[in-house]
Structure 1
Amino acid sequence: MYVILVYDFGERRVGKMLKLCRRYLNWIQNSVFEGEISEVRLKELLMQCDAFMKKEEDSIIIFSGSSQNAMDKVIVGKECADLDLFL
């Protein structure tokens, strides 16, 4: 599945979340990641962030679809991470 993951973590935990997400998805912009990921790998990512996430202060939002082609993407202004998709 294709996901867009957005997080808002406290200052002390944001670095840990950044490093964790970079292992699973492509960095797009501050606190925003996207990419193809299996349900098992996504659950693994979420289980690992449970170790340091404070649910009363932090949040994660995940948008998902069957593929990148199933979602429209419009960028206004500078694109922070230039991803080339090629086969």
Structure 2
Amino acid sequence: MYIVVVYDVGVERVNKVKKFLRQHLNWVQNSVFEGEVTLAEYERIKAGLRKLIDENYDAVVIYKLRSMPPRETLGIEKNPIEDII
């Protein structure tokens, strides 16, 4: 499955969440990651995020898709996925 993760977390947790997600997904923009994952990887990502965030304050949204959607970027592409081998 292809997932897109969008998060809004407290300043003190931003770098921890970003570092964790970079181990599993492609960084797209500030607070946005995406990538192809297995069901087991998806569950690991959810469990890891639950340990890092404060569920009473932070928000993480995970969109589950069947395949990589076509995308169009207006302006500067911060981290082009096409460059990944």
Using structure 1 for the length normalisation, give the TM-score: 0.88
What RMSD, in angstroms, separates the aligned Cα atoms of the two structures? 1.6
Moved beyond 4 Å, runs of 4+: none
Aligned residue pairs: how many? 85
Matched, 1:75 2:76: no
User: % of aligned pairs identical?
Assistant: 32
Structure 1 equivalent of residue 32 of structure 2: 32
2:30, 2:70 → 1: CA distance? Answer: 20
Structure 1 equivalent of residue 13 of structure 2: 13
Gaps spanning 5+ residues in structure 1: where? none
Q: Match for 2:8: what amino acid?
A: D
Gaps spanning 5+ residues in structure 2: where? none
Q: Match for 2:42: what amino acid?
A: L
Q: Give the deviation of 1:74 after TM superposition.
A: 2.1
Name the structure with the higher helix share. 2
CA displacement 1:28-49 (0-9 Å, x = unmatched): 1111001101121111111112
Alpha-carbon distance change, 75 to 47 in structure 1, aligned in 2, over 3 angstroms: same
2:57, 2:43 → 1: CA distance? Answer: 21
More displaced 10-residue stretch of structure 1: 4-13 or 42-51: 42-51
1:35-50 → structure 2 map (5 Å cutoff): 35-50=35-50
